[in-house]
Structure 1
Amino acid sequence: MRKKGHGGYVVIAIDGPGGAGKSTVAARCAQLLALPHLDTGATYRAATVAALRCGADPGHPEAVLAAVMGAAIRYESGQVWLDGEDVTDATRSAEVAAAVSAVSAHPQVRRVIVDLQRAWVGAHGGAAVVEGRDIGTVVFPQASVKVFLTARPEIRAARRAAEEDPAALERRDRFDASRETSPLRPAADALVIDTSDLSVEEVVATVVGLVLEDGRQTSCD
């Protein structure tokens, strides 16, 4: 597999909107490839918890940045900690869901969190499956493999209905797709996969196949 990512890292980037299957596919791919898995959305949700706990207005960049800069965010094995406290459950609250797009839209906040994400991959051996909304375009633009998962709106809403209000999910996706900094969009060289009518196993097989093909091409270079 080529080491051509940011800082020589080997990254499998899995991007897409909510309900497209990123988390399930990324976790399964990481398991099959024996790689660590980073859910970057969890880091932004933790930053949102930090901002809300400090009483910062999510739309006020200076206040949000101060809260995030003063927080210690750590992600490991699907759990996220804020200042030594496991806030995984707190990051899934309706309050956080309503504020996370505003918090993550601030360029300076994104820079802080992107640095954290890159450092996480470096600390985990420089190779990982990383899921998010701007991995292939911003965080690791030279990722070894880039995939953008999508699905029809009604499918995505149904998948997330048990966790989140479908209308709120759609609003966040529209907001993230239209924001000026790091918009939600596929990288030019990403494989776009519509997961609407595919099983998890089919999507995982496609992604793992890309990774293995990347390794075979490299061995022949």
Structure 2
Amino acid sequence: MPSAQPTAYPSTDRTVPTRSRERASYDRELVHAVLDEGYLCHLGFLRDGAPVVLPTLYARVGERLYVHGSTGSRPLRGAGAAPGLAVCLTVTHLDGLVLARSAFHHSVNYRSVVVHGTAFQVTDPEERSLALDAIVEQVMPGRADDSRRANAKELAATAVIRLDLLEVSAKVRSGGPNDEPEDLELPYWTGVLPVARTYGTPIPADDLAPSIALPGYLSGE
């Protein structure tokens, strides 16, 4: 039988924060939960010696993250050459605005994941298909089977990169303000303003046939 995955990722010099170390976690279940709740990441890398950060969609499949983009994209081209592309990928969820009595102690409640590693371009057709379906499903579960998959021309214009979850950390801030004792009697409102992601009512395309009903994954049924 295969051995069970460790419950935590190992900490490294790059995954131990210099500030608020008590908020850091390497718990595998927490890392996966933060990644699975989102679909937008920021991908950082070096281009001609200068840092570049790009927002893009991602998906988690087991212990791998997949990111897709145009074959003309420089980071995706770089991931296709040896020895791969050194990257830093981040995902963040904003959960609340923390309003303290002092300006200095204003903060936010959040959950975040940072992944360091080397990204490689995915060339195997089966893995590419799996990755592209996973990215669609990460954004809207149920959508991959409810849309036409990419044809040969579209696949030729699409690159996919893979980043293994090896050097990973989560960081979480929750709770209320951390005011100084001498500020507790100040006459200012203090507390947390919760922040949540919501979706509006789906708007059909102008050319949608009236006979096509709203799918259950959009109506909540």
- TM-score relative to the length of structure 2: 0.26
Q: Point out which structure has higher relative CO (alpha carbons under 8 A, 6+ apart).
A: 1
More strand by share: 2
Structure label with greater radius of gyration: 2
